[in-house]
Structure 1
Amino acid sequence: MTTPAGTIFFLPGLGFGAAAAGPIADALDALAGGRLRVVGIDLPGHDGSPDAPNGSVAALADRAVQVIEAEADGGPFVIAAHSMGGKVTAVVTDRILRGRANVFGLAGLVLLAPSPPTPEPMSEDKRAEMLSWVDDGPISQGHASEFVAQNVAAPLGEAAARAAVEQLRRMSPLAWRRWLTEGSVEDLSSDIGVLDLPVVVLAGEDDDDLGASAQPQLLADVYPRARFVSLASTGHLLPYERAAEVADEIVRLWDATVPTAPQVTPEWGRLIASERTAPEARGFLAHRALADDPDYAPRVLSPEQLSMLRALADRLVPQSGTARVDLAARVDADLALARSDGWRNEGQPANVFAYRLGLDDLSALWPDDTDDQNATAEQNALIEGIISGELNEHQALGGDAWNGTMRQHWFDDLRTDLTRIWLSHPASFARIGYDGFATSGPAFGSVGYNTVAAGLRDPWEPVELGDLA
């Protein structure tokens, strides 16, 4: 039996429960051979689960986070969500990336015709009709069948239609009304802001309100890295209509993110997720662990300067294998946010200008030979000359604004920035055995070190750190 490489948490749409993940789980099993474990989540009031204390999206998110915290194993995971579950997922994702959930390992999202963080587009006539279905109690067989028929492009198979109708009939009338009158009309956009992580959004071309044509307008500002997929001859019930296509996109997102980003072991992931780690620290680590955008567009550097910076990063902080941190992109992002260690030599230009001048200067000096081995040796020699100061007398581009000494000082800053960013990644913490981030959380009692001696570790520390005290 194949050991799962990770977990897919599934948040269903209005009227559906964890069972709606079944078709996707079956398709994933056939496609990925058991690599990915699927955990469906019954949101409050759905498929027989108890109602939430109120009708807010936050109350639904509370339940989702509770299940994710209980089921997560410290390894990587993706959240997939349909319709209503998409709006709930925005809140859950925001909590995870802020460190406000005791979980670690989020790699990305797969959203199926999701309800946006803003009020969901729906006509008042449609809302009134759906509310009338629960005037006298749970949804009737006829209304449940009508709901399914209204939300598919073509009739479902007999077994799938029966499963969908049975879930709808187990829906709490209170939860149904609350979503239509409260949750769906909540505007959470100012609270959530921008969620910058890998996302794929699938929607049907025959979905009236949350279809393929509407989704980019609804979500592009929330998920700047989203890739939108339009499905022809498809309505709103993607888990039943297009399970194979959903499974394919989940695997595609997984393969584009998890193997390409350095990972920590589940033991380290559980430590980051634990109460020993402060929420602020967990949030930083959650962001740093995300795979870099392969299509990253520089924000303050030119494409040519970013390319030069990547070449320098490969020499100064070499990374082996395919799981890498795009150090250059992260430096550019820090420069755009004016984020630095606060140090600058006297007379040195401001960081952004120093980087632009320095990278242009080095581009003119950078050896680029067709003989890779020879070019590498020359590049290393150039780097060593800058560090030692031997090249300070070499003519630098930029005239009085940039001389050899400035080049040397800037290069010191560059090396510090690249090393700092690499070292701050949670996988680098694990690599060097640093677990000091887990000594300031809200855990009961002391969260510091009890044993401080060479070769010894506390019982809470990962096993790679040495002998158990």
Structure 2
Amino acid sequence: MHNPKPSQGAAALSLFCLHCLGGSAREWQGVERELGAGISLVGIDLPGFGSAADVPGYSVAAMAEHVAAQVRAAAPGRWMLAGHSMGAKVAAVVARQAVAGAAGLEGLCGLVLLAGSPPGPEPMSEERRADMTGWLDGDAAHRATQAREFVAANAVTLTPEARAAAEVDVLRANPAAWRAWLQSGSREDWAERVGVLPLPALILAGAEDGDLGPEAQRRLMAPHVLTAEHHDLPHARHLLPIEAASTVARLITRFAALPPGETQPPRIPPHYRALLESGRTSTALRDALLARVAPEADTRRAWLPAGAYAVLEAALDRVIPQSPHARIDLAARIERSLAEDAGDGWRFADLPADAEAMHQALLSLDALGRLLHQDGFTGLTDAGRDTLLHRVADGQAAAAAPGLFDGSQMALWFQDLRAMAVKHYVGHPATLARMGYSGVASGGDGPRKSGFTRFGIGEREAWEPVALAGEAP
């Protein structure tokens, strides 16, 4: 399914959409009709379903390769990937390939995950899994009954036409693909391989969904994306693209509207700001933390030459990848601390003072790019930058030119750079909130400190923050 609106011309964004178990690309038709201008929706039938019912390859890896091949064939510029339920797990694997620099998958700029099956094993009771496995076996009457019950159980309200189409899609599924997902695919554990994707994500859940509802999305899906915008859709269960097409289209249109390159600073969640402003946090600590989110903290001093500063930005983007939807300007903060000589007071004996070391190392890194990859560091692909930085970290990269660092010095500098980046990133209150860090509330200003009373393993104070994992600060 690929039907761009005639008024769009060449779409600014391609949205590749993957369906749920027993679904097909047709489930996205209602969403497509209401998407904003500039978004071209491309529905993909996964192997064993819809028009691909006869296509083999039911493992998560095989389905991901099927999707990647279709993205490559379309050769999109700027694109997003949407995955519904089963499709969300496949989308996460494809996204990992894209951010790792797989050829033909360049330009991925976001994920839309609806009632997503997580990268790890999908939560489902073994009794229910065993029952569902045989639903598409048996005669036609049995299969039709199971299809009706499946669709009815996964939606609050559907029009008769939508209900009939959803039931037909279930019956179109290859029984072997249906069984393979329930018995194997949904159990596959890709959590470590997917890791944390440096992409913004829109995560939608039906408020009345069971296994893959709001709680499961926050606990199992959100930790795998750098920043996430969450929406729980009321009066909806699992078939979100069908039963809530208008809402889904509106949320996707808004999510996709952030222009490429436009950045936004991270926000402190209301519950964490309330903790900072409570009597449990001292005034001095509160002021210090809130100063870290002031606009001037992300304003560069123009102390480094523009070329060197661009190299610093590019290197930091590989050390701690961030989303433009919630970005801490690490380069500006590091440059400011160096300009103000606000370091930690020590340095490696083989390196000059911090400020001089930074300038010299950035010149060396750019020279290394030209020496080893025939281009300056900022001109390299992400994969090229990663390769070079790995060599730097191992002490195997030296520019071999007067006035530039040798391999050992570059390794020491890169160790310092990573420490500075982590210090500024983790020390930001929005990051502390995502971590659920409660150490900010170790006492207020008065003589009687309101600290901790529960110290057992696994025990928490009622007021302590909970880690937000991948949820947007």
Q: TM-score, normalised by structure 2?
A: 0.61
1:23-422 counterparts in 2 under 5 A? 23-28=30-35, 32-33=36-37, 35-73=38-76, 75-136=77-138, 140-154=143-157, 156-256=158-258, 259-261=259-261, 294-295=265-266, 310-312=298-300, 359-360=336-337, 362-363=339-340, 406=353, 409-410=356-357, 412-413=359-360
1:410-449 counterparts in 2 under 5 A? 410=357, 412-413=359-360
Cα pair distance change 1:313/1:76, threshold 3 Å: farther
**How far has the Cα of 1:117 moved from its partner?**
0.9
**How far has the Cα of 1:99 moved from its partner?**
2.2
Tell me, in whole angstroms, the C-alpha distance in 2 between the residues paired with 1:153 and 1:143. Answer: 17
**Are the equivalent residues in 2 in contact too, given 1:212–1:231 (CA < 8 A)?**
no
Q: Please give the per-residue CA displacement for 1:135-177, whole angstroms capped at 9, x wherever unaligned.
A: 22677222111111100123x0111111111111111111111
**Are the equivalent residues in 1 in contact too, given 2:318–2:382 (CA < 8 A)?**
no
SS of 2:246's partner is helix
**How far has the Cα of 1:104 moved from its partner?**
1.5
Q: 2:29 aligns with which of 22, 28, 42?
A: 22
Tell me, in whole angstroms, the C-alpha distance in 1 between the residues paired with 2:356 and 2:46. Answer: 56
Cα pair distance change 1:201/1:436, threshold 3 Å: closer
SS of 2:199's partner is coil
Cα pair distance change 1:64/1:313, threshold 3 Å: farther
Question: Which residue of the partner structure matches residue 276 of structure 1?
Answer: none
Cα pair distance change 1:437/1:141, threshold 3 Å: closer
Tell me, in whole angstroms, the C-alpha distance in 2 between the residues paired with 1:361 and 1:62. Answer: 46
Tell me, in whole angstroms, the C-alpha distance in 2 between the residues paired with 1:66 and 1:121. Answer: 29
Tell me, in whole angstroms, the C-alpha distance in 1 between the residues paired with 2:164 and 2:383. Answer: 49
Tell me, in whole angstroms, the C-alpha distance in 1 between the residues paired with 2:305 and 2:164. Answer: 57
**Are the equivalent residues in 1 in contact too, given 2:98–2:105 (CA < 8 A)?**
yes
Tell me, in whole angstroms, the C-alpha distance in 2 between the residues paired with 1:87 and 1:435. Answer: 30
**Are the equivalent residues in 2 in contact too, given 1:15–1:167 (CA < 8 A)?**
yes
Cα pair distance change 1:400/1:436, threshold 3 Å: closer
Tell me, in whole angstroms, the C-alpha distance in 1 between the residues paired with 2:224 and 2:184. Answer: 21
Cα pair distance change 1:132/1:437, threshold 3 Å: closer
Question: Which residue of the partner structure matches residue 2 of structure 1?
Answer: 8
Q: Please give the per-residue CA displacement for 1:326-383, whole angstroms capped at 9, x wherever unaligned.
A: 998766566779xxxxxxxxxxxxxx9xx86x734745xxxxxxxxxxxxxxxxxxxx
Cα pair distance change 1:137/1:230, threshold 3 Å: same
Matched residues, percent identical?
Answer: 34
Q: Which runs of 5+ in 1 are unaligned?
A: 262-290, 320-324, 338-351, 364-395, 440-469
Cα pair distance change 1:247/1:313, threshold 3 Å: farther
**Which is worse superposed, 137-146 or 182-191?**
137-146
Cα pair distance change 1:198/1:437, threshold 3 Å: closer
Cα pair distance change 1:314/1:80, threshold 3 Å: farther
Aligned partner letter, 1:110? V
Tell me, in whole angstroms, the C-alpha distance in 1 between the residues paired with 2:305 and 2:245. Answer: 42
**How far has the Cα of 1:103 moved from its partner?**
2.4
Q: TM-score, normalised by structure 1?
A: 0.62
**Are the equivalent residues in 1 in contact too, given 2:48–2:56 (CA < 8 A)?**
no
**How far has the Cα of 1:37 moved from its partner?**
0.6
Q: Which runs of 5+ in 2 are unaligned?
A: 1-6, 269-287, 322-329, 385-473
CA-based RMSD of the aligned residues comes to 4.1
Cα pair distance change 1:419/1:249, threshold 3 Å: farther
**Are the equivalent residues in 2 in contact too, given 1:308–1:359 (CA < 8 A)?**
no
Tell me, in whole angstroms, the C-alpha distance in 1 between the residues paired with 2:213 and 2:199. Answer: 22
Aligned partner letter, 1:145? R
Tell me, in whole angstroms, the C-alpha distance in 2 between the residues paired with 1:19 and 1:113. Answer: 17
Aligned partner letter, 2:359? D
Tell me, in whole angstroms, the C-alpha distance in 2 between the residues paired with 1:294 and 1:251. Answer: 21
Q: Please give the per-residue CA displacement for 1:382-409, whole angstroms capped at 9, x wherever unaligned.
A: xxxxxxxxxxxxxx6789869xx94762
**How far has the Cα of 1:304 moved from its partner?**
5.4
Tell me, in whole angstroms, the C-alpha distance in 2 between the residues paired with 1:360 and 1:112. Answer: 42
Aligned partner letter, 1:125? E
Cα pair distance change 1:101/1:82, threshold 3 Å: farther
Cα pair distance change 1:417/1:9, threshold 3 Å: farther
**How far has the Cα of 1:134 moved from its partner?**
1.8
Aligned partner letter, 1:84? M
**Are the equivalent residues in 1 in contact too, given 2:154–2:238 (CA < 8 A)?**
yes
Tell me, in whole angstroms, the C-alpha distance in 2 between the residues paired with 1:413 and 1:292. Answer: 29
Count of residue pairs brought into register by the alignment: 336
Cα pair distance change 1:104/1:397, threshold 3 Å: closer
